[in-house]
Every structure is written in structure tokens, then in C-alpha cells.
């Protein structure tokens, strides 16, 4: 026996009432319902009266099922079900606050279900565990303590109700209503069911539907625990397998058209001749760097008649560059950096001279950073290109531009001059850009840009042909690719008006640089300009590191560079979320932080 006190208060739940109760009962939960919908014409006028009646009814109900408290009660309960046979669980909807108090007084666990933060706060205030009706309602409350995240709470209920794990934790209402347990069996039959069905169970068509949550979509796992609306794009299998420009008839649902449109948008954004750009949406900067180095390795091998290239990258290059070099078996040499994190051209020149002397026939694969991870430094691309032209024989070199963060702003701030074509002017072969950093896409993604002429020189079309996919040419690392990333990134880009005149993106870029200058000025006035690091065009600022509490509160990044007097540095990246008000709050905390007192005092003296 399982008992549940069920409050169904507002009218919006009335339509779901029969299926809700039926689902509870099918899952072996004995339901005692208090239907309090019939409130008359005035909800407000009946609210107090309804709650008082509900508390009275619940009090009587709880008296019947609570464990016996005295010898007299134990005698009365002799022969009845034992207290442990009961599940003391109360489900309270919205504003049944007096009912919640009565249930708590009777020793019941109360789950308060609401549609918004106000309802949840009201339920929590009277002792209920506050749970949102859906995960999408819950998202805004994830940062609030004492809320049970929806995906964990149902599993605890399952353990109480079924005494064993019977499925992946889903949303509270799905769990209680049993929407993914498709069986006409009774509760006892479900308990006795064999966990290892015979082979015959899988060949009977009548049994096939038992594994499906929704037979119309062949779904076996509910997705609303992720906040996914049924029938939305996020609820659909979207596979952009292989190269975006290819047509794969067997994959009916894809977003290749949007992916190609993204390439066209960035082609215009980077002022590249129309129709010459190629690329694909990646899973992030790491895949972009890996692919760029993979393609250029093969390109340089062809260019130099089979010689293995040598990879040159600064010590501040992203760690994914080292990973890719190991995976691709490319020899990697590190170049020193300046104090601000940008590549040291003098050390690059020295290294190139050594490479040419020791390996005169081997080509050079150069990685240039447009925004290093720790300081946001932009390497001197024209200077790097000039050195490569001067030092590398027969111009057997190519450049990969890692623009994970600053790829969103390079064509706006023009650090190397206006009307620059990176592919034409600097022999850049690939550019990796992140979609979830400056752009703010809600999915982790990115974009790798290149040119048609470069790809033609890299790959033989027949060598990348996948016959069983009807002529697909695949030069991507992952093969099957998530088409929803494309939708998310395309939506973000269009929201910034990059498909027209980029006006919103330009406004955001101006704000970010304005607030970066403000932060730089405020911090310099506190510790002195000599203790603040901000490379040219960078949106990142490094300063003496505050306490661990401040590091956590403001999500600051520890900076491992050593500048000057062995100062431990922290870094901040000024993006759209860093407002003037946030800067004011940070500076107010910073001047009171004991860990930076010596820097403040030394400067003030």
C-alpha cells in the first residue's frame, strides 16, 4: 500500500487531473484525492475557505495513515498494515499552504510543485521541498539553495515506491504518472517480472510497444527532463553527417542549408571573395584546431613531396594545439612570448633559422593566436608572415589562425588594417572560431573556415568518398555531426544581425571595449599601471590575484605567467555580462581584500 495526499488546486491542472491520478494508481500508488477545483466564481474569495477545508481534510487523512503514537493507537492498529508499508508523501500544488502545514505536522514529506519562482518560494516557506512543474521552469532556480533539481528527486521516489531502480530519472510528473512504464500489469506483477526476458519476448510484435515511450516517434527515453519541448527541433534527431555541401538522401532531417548559410555569413563578415569560402560547424575550438592542423599537415606533405612538417606555436597557444600535434604525430616546437603573452618575433626568427639549418627540406606549420587564453593577446600576424616569407625556403609554410575568442571581433576592430583578407594577404589556410565564447551560443560549438582552393590542394575527392553513404565526401573528424549545434549557432549569429549589417554585434563589441577601458583605468588607479597587463586590442586584463573567495565569486582565471616581481596574477575577460555595475561591485570588494593589500599600500605610498 502506498498513500499520497494530492492537492489539485488551480484550474490549470484540472485537465490533467484524471490522467495524473490514473498514472499514480497504475504505478502502485494508492491515491487519496482532495479535488478542490469547485471554488465558485471568485477564486480569491474562496481561497481562505478552501485552504481551511483542505487542512481539515488532510488532518483527518493523515491521522488514518500515520504510524501509531500510543499504546491505545497500537492496539487499534493491530492487524493493519505496518507503518513501513506506507509512503508518507504529499504532493502540493501551488498555494495549498495550510494543507502543506497540516501534512508536515502529520510527519509527511511534502513536495511542492509550482510554475514559477514565486509559487516555489511560497511552498518552501511552509516547509515543502520546492520543485518546478517542468525543467524549463526550474532553470532560473538552479542557483538557489534548498531546491531539489528535478532529475534527482524522482529517483529517490522510485526507490521508495518500487524499492529498486526501474529507469533513468526523469521529471517528477513523468515519474509519478508512469509515462514511460507502458504496461497493463499490476504492481505485484511488475515486481515479479523477470529482469532477463527470454528471446521470445523480443520477437512477439505485441511486446514491441513495451519498450517505447511514444510509438509514433519510436522514442524510448523521455526528454523533458532536459527541458525539451515535444516536437521542437531539440526533440528531433538531426545528423549533418560529413561535409555540409554534400547531399545524403538517406539522412532525411538535417540542417545543411543553415550550415552553408553560416559559411556565407562569415565569408561576408571576413570580406572574402564571394563563393570562395568553405568550412563546417565544429564541436568547439579544439575540433577546429585539430582539423586545421590535420588538413595543413597533409597539404604541406604534398607541397614538400612527402616531408613531415614541423609545428611552431607560442608557449601561450591553447593546449589543444599540443594535443592535436600528439594525435597527428607532428613535431612541435614552442616559441617564447612577450610579457603580455603575444608571440616573441625575435625568438620566432631564431627558431626558424635553426629549423632551416637542421631540417632544410621540411615545411613549417605555423599556429598564430588571435586572443590567447590567459591574456587575450593577438599575435603579430603580419610580422609572423613576413618572417616565414623571409626564412622558409620555397615558401613551404602555412598558417592556422586560432581565433576562438577574437574571431568574433577581428573584422570589426581590424588590428592588421582594414579590408584585410586573411587567406590572401597572410597565407592563412584555416581559421578556427568558437560559437559559445564571444558569440554566446547556448551549445558548445564553433566554426572552421578555409578556402575552396586550399581544400582542392589538400584532398583527392575519390580518397574521401564514402560509398555506402551514397557519394558523401567526408573530411571532418567526427563524421556524424550534431545538426542542432548548427541551428543554435545560426540563431545566435542572426540575433546579432550578422546576416545583414552586424549592427547589434558592433554595438556589443563597442560596449565590451568601453568597459574594458573602464576596468583598466579603475584597476590601474588601485595597483598602478605597471602591475596591470592588457595587450593591444585585448578584452582581457590581468592584475594581482585576490583571495580565493573573490576568485570564486567573480569566476576569475588564475594566470600562470610571471611578470616582474613574482606577482601572482588573475585574469578577467570583459564580455557583455560584465556591466559597469558589476565592475563597481568588483572594485569595491577588491580594495577590501586582504590578499591584495600589499599591492594597494605600496602603490598608495
Q: Is 190 exposed, middle or buried (0-12, 13-18, 19+ CB in 10 A)?
A: middle
Instruction: Give the whole-angstrom CA distance, residue 124 versus residue 119.
Output: 9
pTM value? 0.66
Q: Is the pLDDT of residue 185 over 70?
A: no
Q: 567: helix, coil or strand?
A: strand
Nearest CA among 13, 172, 21 for reference residue 94 = 13
Instruction: Give the whole-angstrom CA distance, residue 425 versus residue 419.
Output: 10
Q: Is the pLDDT of residue 509 over 70?
A: yes
183-191 mean pLDDT: 30
Instruction: Give the whole-angstrom CA distance, residue 531 versus residue 539.
Output: 17
564-577 mean pLDDT: 86
More confident residue, 495 or 592: 592
Q: What is the mean pLDDT of the chain?
A: 74
523-538 mean pLDDT: 93
Q: Which helix or strand (DSSP H or E) is residue 90 part of?
A: strand 89-93
Q: Which helix or strand (DSSP H or E) is residue 429 part of?
A: strand 428-434
Q: pLDDT over 90 for what percent of the chain? A: 42
pLDDT of residue 579: 93
CA dihedral 570→575→577→582, nearest 10 degrees, is: 50
Q: Where does the pLDDT of residue 474 fall: very low under 50, low under 70, confident under 90, or very high at 90 and above?
A: confident
Cell output for 548: 580565493
CATH number of 504-604, picked from 3.30.1240, 3.90.1150, 1.10.3470, 1.10.287: 3.90.1150
More confident residue, 331 or 37: 331
Contact status, residue 251 vs residue 474, Cβ threshold 8 Å: no
pLDDT of residue 573: 95
204-228 mean pLDDT: 56
What are the DSSP E strand ranges found in 442-583? 446-451, 465-466, 472-473, 540-544, 557-563, 567-573
Q: Which helix or strand (DSSP H or E) is residue 109 part of?
A: strand 109-114
Q: Is 131 exposed, middle or buried (0-12, 13-18, 19+ CB in 10 A)?
A: buried
Q: Is the pLDDT of residue 439 over 90?
A: yes
Instruction: Give the whole-angstrom CA distance, residue 53 versus residue 148.
Output: 29
Phi-psi region of 311 (alpha: psi -120 to 50; beta: other; left: phi over 0): beta
Q: Please name the residue that has the C-alpha cell 518560494.
A: 121
Q: pLDDT over 70 for what percent of the chain? A: 57
Judged by average pLDDT, the poorest of 277-281, 398-402, 485-489, 561-565 is 561-565
Contact status, residue 497 vs residue 503, Cβ threshold 8 Å: yes
Q: Where does the pLDDT of residue 97 fall: very low under 50, low under 70, confident under 90, or very high at 90 and above?
A: low
More confident residue, 379 or 127: 379
Third-level CATH fold of 3-192? Rossmann fold (3.40.50)
101-120 residues labelled b (16+ CB within 10 A) or e (exposed): bbbbebebbbbbbbbebebb
More confident residue, 240 or 198: 240
Instruction: Give the whole-angstrom CA distance, residue 297 versus residue 418.
Output: 30
Q: Where does the pLDDT of residue 536 fall: very low under 50, low under 70, confident under 90, or very high at 90 and above?
A: very high
pLDDT of residue 1: 32
Q: Is the pLDDT of residue 552 over 90?
A: yes
CA-based end-to-end distance of the chain: 76
Domain ranges in the chain are 3-192, 279-450, 504-604
Judged by average pLDDT, the poorest of 22-26, 234-238, 292-296 is 22-26
- What is the per-residue pLDDT across 47-88, written as a single tens digit (0 to 9) for each? 556 556 656 655 555 555 445 556 665 555 554 444 444 444
Q: Is the pLDDT of residue 290 over 50?
A: yes
Q: Is the pLDDT of residue 480 over 90?
A: no
- What is the per-residue pLDDT across 121-179, written as a single tens digit (0 to 9) for each? 776 776 665 555 443 433 343 332 223 333 333 333 333 333 333 333 333 444 343 33
Instruction: Give the whole-angstrom CA distance, residue 107 versus residue 93.
Output: 18
Instruction: Give the whole-angstrom CA distance, residue 251 versus residue 468.
Output: 12
Q: Where does the pLDDT of residue 329 fall: very low under 50, low under 70, confident under 90, or very high at 90 and above?
A: very high
Cell output for 248: 545524403
Q: Where does the pLDDT of residue 495 fall: very low under 50, low under 70, confident under 90, or very high at 90 and above?
A: confident
Q: Could you give the C-alpha distances from 439 to 233, 284, 445, 494, in angstroms and in order?
A: 21, 12, 10, 11
96-110 mean pLDDT: 63
pLDDT of residue 599: 80
More confident residue, 127 or 320: 320
More confident residue, 117 or 58: 117
Third-level CATH fold of 279-450? 3.40.640
Number of helices (H), then strands (E), belonging to the chain: the values are 23, 17
Q: Where does the pLDDT of residue 561 fall: very low under 50, low under 70, confident under 90, or very high at 90 and above?
A: confident
pLDDT of residue 416: 95
Q: Is 511 exposed, middle or buried (0-12, 13-18, 19+ CB in 10 A)?
A: middle
For CA atoms 352, 353, 354, 360, the dihedral sign is positive
Amino acid at each position: 500500500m502506498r498513500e499520497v495526499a494530492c492537492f489539485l488546486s488551480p484550474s490549470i491542472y484540472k485537465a490533467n487531473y484524471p490522467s495524473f491520478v490514473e498514472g499514480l494508481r497504475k504505478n502502485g500508488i494508492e491515491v487519496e484525492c482532495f479535488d478542490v477545483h469547485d471554488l465558485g466564481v471568485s477564486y480569491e474569495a474562496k481561497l481562505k475557505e478552501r485552504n481551511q477545508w483542505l487542512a481539515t481534510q488532510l488532518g483527518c487523512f493523515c491521522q488514518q495513515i500515520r504510524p501509531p503514537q500510543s499504546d491505545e493507537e497500537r492496539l487499534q492498529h493491530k492487524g493493519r498494515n505496518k507503518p513501513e508499508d506506507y509512503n508518507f508523501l504529499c504532493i502540493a500544488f501551488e498555494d495549498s499552504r495550510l494543507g502543506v502545514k497540516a501534512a508536515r505536522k502529520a510527519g509527511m514529506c511534502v513536495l511542492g510543485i509550482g510554475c514559477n519562482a514565486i509559487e516555489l518560494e511560497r511552498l518552501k516557506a511552509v516547509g515543502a521541498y520546492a520543485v518546478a512543474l517542468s525543467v524549463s521552469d526550474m532553470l532560473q532556480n538552479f542557483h538557489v539553495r534548498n531546491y531539489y533539481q528535478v532529475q534527482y528527486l524522482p529517483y529517490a521516489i522510485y526507490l521508495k515506491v518500487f524499492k529498486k531502480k526501474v529507469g533513468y530519472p526523469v521529471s517528477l510528473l513523468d515519474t509519478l504518472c508512469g509515462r514511460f512504464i507502458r504496461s497493463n500489469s499490476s504492481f505485484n506483477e511488475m515486481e515479479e517480472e523477470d529482469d532477463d526476458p527470454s528471446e521470445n519476448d523480443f520477437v512477439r510484435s505485441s511486446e514491441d510497444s513495451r519498450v517505447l515511450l511514444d510509438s509514433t516517434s519510436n522514442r524510448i527515453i523521455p526528454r523533458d527532463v532536459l527541458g525539451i519541448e515535444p516536437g521542437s527541433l531539440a526533440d528531433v534527431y538531426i545528423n549533418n553527417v560529413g561535409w555540409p555541401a554534400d547531399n545524403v538522401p538517406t539522412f532525411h532531417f538535417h540542417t545543411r542549408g543553415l550550415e552553408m548559410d553560416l559559411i556565407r555569413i562569415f565569408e561576408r563578415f571576413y570580406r572574402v571573395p564571394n563563393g570562395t569560402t568553405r568550412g563546417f560547424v565544429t564541436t568547439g575550438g579544439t575540433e577546429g584546431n585539430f582539423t586545421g592542423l590535420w588538413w595543413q599537415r597533409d597539404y604541406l606533405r604534398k607541397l614538400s613531396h612527402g616531408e613531415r612538417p614541423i609545428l611552431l606555436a607560442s608557449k601561450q597557444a591553447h593546449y589543444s594545439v599540443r594535443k592535436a600535434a600528439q594525435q597527428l604525430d607532428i613535431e612541435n616546437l614552442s616559441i617564447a612570448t612577450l610579457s603580455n603573452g603575444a608571440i616573441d618575433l625575435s625568438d620566432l626568427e631564431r627558431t626558424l633559422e635553426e629549423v632551416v639549418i637542421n631540417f632544410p627540406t621540411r615545411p613549417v606549420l605555423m599556429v598564430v593566436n588571435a586572443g590567447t587564453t590567459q591574456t587575450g593577446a593577438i599575435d603579430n600576424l603580419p610580422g609572423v608572415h613576413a618572417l616565414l616569407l623571409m626564412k622558409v625556403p620555397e615558401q613551404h609554410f602555412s598558417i592556422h589562425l586560432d581565433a576562438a575568442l577574437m574571431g568574433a571581433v577581428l573584422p570589426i576592430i581590424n588590428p592588421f588594417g582594414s579590408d584585410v583578407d586573411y587567406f590572401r594577404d597572410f597565407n592563412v589556410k584555416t581559421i578556427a572560431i568558437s560559437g559559445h565564447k564571444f558569440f554566446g551560443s547556448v551549445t558548445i560549438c564553433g566554426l572552421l573556415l578555409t578556402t575552396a582552393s586550399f581544400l582542392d590542394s589538400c584532398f583527392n575527392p575519390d580518397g574521401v568518398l564514402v560509398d555506402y553513404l551514397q557519394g558523401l565526401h567526408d573530411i571532418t573528424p567526427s563524421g556524424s555531426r550534431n545538426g542542432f549545434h548548427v541551428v543554435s549557432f545560426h540563431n545566435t549569429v542572426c540575433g546579432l544581425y550578422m546576416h545583414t549589417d552586424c549592427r547589434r554585434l558592433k554595438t556589443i563589441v563597442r560596449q565590451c571595449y568601453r568597459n574594458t577601458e573602464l576596468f583598466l583605468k579603475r584597476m590601474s588607479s588601485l595597483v598602478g599601471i605597471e602591475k596591470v597587463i592588457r595587450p593591444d586590442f585585448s578584452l582581457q586584463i590581468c592584475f594581482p590575484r585576490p583571495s580565493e573567495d573573490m576568485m570564486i565569486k567573480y569566476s576569475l582565471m588564475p594566470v600562470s605567467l610571471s611578470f616582474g616581481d613574482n606577482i601572482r596574477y588573475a585574469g578577467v575577460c570583459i564580455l557583455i555580462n560584465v556591466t559597469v555595475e558589476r565592475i563597481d561591485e568588483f572594485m569595491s570588494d577588491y580594495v577590501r581584500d586582504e590578499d591584495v593589500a600589499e599591492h594597494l599600500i605600496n602603490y598608495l605610498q
